[in-house]
Each structure stands twice: as C-alpha cells, then as structure tokens.
Structure 1
C-alpha cells in the first residue's frame, strides 16, 4: 500500500510530478527533433551538392556529432551558452552570472545531435527517389522549385519516416541526459523522487516503465504514419 501511495496522485504521491516530467520529456524531444530537422536538411543538402567544400563540411558535422559523447555536447552547449550570455550581460553592465535556460540548452544540444542522424536519413531518402521521375519532370519543363514541391519533398518525407522514427527514439533517450542541467524532465523527476523518499529502486523502475510507454506509443505513431504515407503505394507495401 505504501508503494502505491508513493507513486499515486495523493498528497504524498509523486505520480503527478512524474507525469509532468514525462510531458516535459516529450516537449523537449519534439523541439529537439524540429531543430535537428533544420540542421539535418541543411547538412543533407550540403552532402548531396557537387561542391567539395560543402560536402566536406557536411561530413565533418555528421562525423563529429555522431562520434562525440552526447553528454559532452550537452555540457558544451549549456556551459558555453551560459558563458556567452554572461559575457553579453556584462557588456550591458550586468555583473552577475546569467545561465542559459535548461530547456533551451537541452533542446539545442539534442537537436544538434539528432541533426547529424537526420542528415543521413534525408540523404538516403533523397537517393531513394526514382531518377526516372526526376528526368520526366524535367522533360515536361517542370522548374526546380515545382519539381521539389511536387515530386522530391513528398517522396523524401515518405522514405524518411522509418528513419525519423529511429531518430525520435534516440532523441527521446538522449533527453534523459538533459537532467544534468536541472531540467525537470522524466529522469530528473525520478531522481528527485528517489532521493526524497530513499526509494531509489522503485522510482527508477517507474521512470524506466514510463520511458518504455513513451517509446511504445511513439512506435505506434510512426508506424501509423508510415502506413498512411504508403497507402498510395500498394505494390511497395505488398513487397515489404
């Protein structure tokens, strides 16, 4: 009974705070994925371009941010951003320390990391687009912007859905590392609950169960999106 009270929603329960932590995890992951999509699209375009310098910069980005530990990147963004904000504050006469908001630092850091993976997802999706369709569009006089909007973008998005699902799951788990900045997401809330009650095993198990629920629901969402995107491709679905 005491266990149920601790994880419940009563006056002594931590259930509401844990759910708020799970909601914060979803929010920071969603913002990070959006940030990563911007970085990923830019880097994918650079790697697909014929410009050697752009391709090199794109390769450096994906190599660095897929190879450096995620926690180190979060520290660099958080403390580096705080130092930059403090320096800006001093230039306006403020002498105190100005910390970078935990949510912004975490979303940016995880977004930059996910951008390296999304770049490869977008690049692979673009290469999967039939060259015959692109040649046919050019043959009928379809200009570049219209070809991108009507042919390239819809198919790239369709081919990218499975890979984006994997990136989402990675970002969802990476968001646990943001707890080091003090953001009250699911991992941080589980730590606080465990430390306050001395029930470490209980709350870390509950936190892990909530992560599993989030990842399972995410799988269902992305699988549904993939089925919806492939409704017009019965032959492809039949071969899968």
Structure 2
C-alpha cells in the first residue's frame, strides 16, 4: 500500500490524461453523432447510405481492432509523408490517435441517439413556431434543440459511461493513462492488485461525478417541460 502512495503523483497524472481523453473524445463523438443524425434524417440517398455504412462498420469491428488500425496506419502514413518530404521521423501520439479513434467509434452510437431524439420531437411545434414568426435558426435554438437535448440526455449518458471505460484500451498502444501507469507500476513493484484497485477507484470517481452532472442536466432541461405540464 505504501508503494501506491508513493506513485500517487503519477497515478493522478494518468487520471488527468484519462479524463482529458474522455472529454475530448466525447466532444468529437457528439460532433460525429450530430452529423450522422443529420445524414440519416436527410431526404436524399447518399447521406443515409454513408451514415449506415459508418454505423455498420463501428458496430461490426471491436474497439481494440479499430484503435490498433488507426494507430499503426496513422504511423505508417506519417512515415510515408516524412520520407517523401525528407523530414525526420514523426511519431504519432497515442493520446491523439486514441482520442480520434474513440470519438469516431462512439459518434456512430450517438448518431442513433440523436436521430431518435430528433424524431421524438413533435414536428407541429416547429410549424407553430414558424407560424408565430420565428426564423429557422430561432426555431431550432429556442424550440427544437432544447427538446432534442432533453430526449437525448439518457442515451448520451450511457454512451459517455461506456466511452470513458473504453479509454482504458488505449493503454495497449503505449498511452500513460490511469490504466497504463497502474499496469506499469504494478509490474515494477509486483503489486498489481493494489495498483489495479487504484485504477478501479479512479474510474468509480469519474462515474460518480458523471452521474451527478447528467442528473443536474436532466433536471435543468426537464424543468420547463414540467412547469408546462
């Protein structure tokens, strides 16, 4: 246990890297999800087909395989570019590669979450807002978007929880996140159990804080609708 205490600064650094990766990946996933939902809801054929191929790919391939493909193919592409340009070798950052891959993966799940939330909003409300003289952007910002967010919050929370746990897989490509540091420290001290317990507690803290944040968000977006009822 004393050895875990001695490693606390490194574990705290790994904890920060894990949280930063999860937040940045979630931001990318939300962007990908919004674009995917818009593509699925579009009336053309190309948009829905592209999004369907995207979601099918993500659902059919394990996260670990995609992370390895993104990392090693990204490194190979970078080597090709640097060799052609006569530059020195540039190593692909495991943090950047992991963030992009996880954001890409969970954007597919959020696309379906956002699409379902958009479809749950009564179209008549948008038509009523237009009849009252609101412009399309005002209708989206004041009427449609708050209801989409309200409908999407439960599913988004589930995606966030799974995404956060998926960051642990990125340690396999050399990222010094919470899991990576815990494994390295456990290997060095032969105290795997206690260091993995430390990682266990770290993820529980993230989960607990996340639940509080999403509960607050749900209360905030539900307040106006509760008053209306």
**Take 1:183 and 1:162, find their aligned partners in 2: how far apart are those partners?**
30
1:36·1:112 contact (CA, 8 Å) conserved in 2? yes
Name 1:7's counterpart in structure 2: 4
CA root-mean-square deviation: 1.6
Q: In the alignment, which residue of structure 2 is the partner of 1:90?
A: 83
- Of 62-71 and 105-114, more deviation after overlay is shown by 62-71
1:23 matched to which residue of 2?
16
Pairing 1:194–2:186 present: yes
Partners of 1:69 and 1:134 lie apart in 2 by: 39
Deviation per CA, 1:191-232: give whole Å up to 9, x if none: 011011011122112211221221122111111111122111
C-alpha separation in 2, matches of 1:229 and 1:140: 23
Match of 2:37 in 1: 44
TM-score normalised by length of structure 2 = 0.94
Give, in angstroms, the shift of residue 65 of structure 1.
0.9
Does 2:168 correspond to 1:176? yes
Gaps of 5+ in 1: none
Q: Tell me whether 1:220 sits opposite 2:212 in the alignment.
A: yes
Deviation at 1:188, TM superposition (A): 0.2
Q: Which has the higher contact order (CA 8 A, sep 6+)?
A: 2
Aligned equivalents of 1:7, 1:228: Cα separation in 2: 40
- Deviation per CA, 1:165-187: give whole Å up to 9, x if none: 11111110110011012111111
Structure 2 residue runs without a partner (length 5+): none
How many angstroms does 1:131 deviate by?
1.8
In terms of fraction of residues, the more helix-rich structure is 2
Q: What's the counterpart of residue 146 of structure 1?
A: 138
Tell me what 2:61 maps to: 68
Query: Quick check: 1:83–1:99 contact (8 Å CA) kept in 2?
Result: no
Aligned-partner Cα distance in 2 for 1:126–1:60: 21
Q: In the alignment, does 2:106 pair up with 1:109?
A: no
Number of residue-to-residue matches in the alignment: 229
Q: TM-score, normalization: structure 1?
A: 0.90
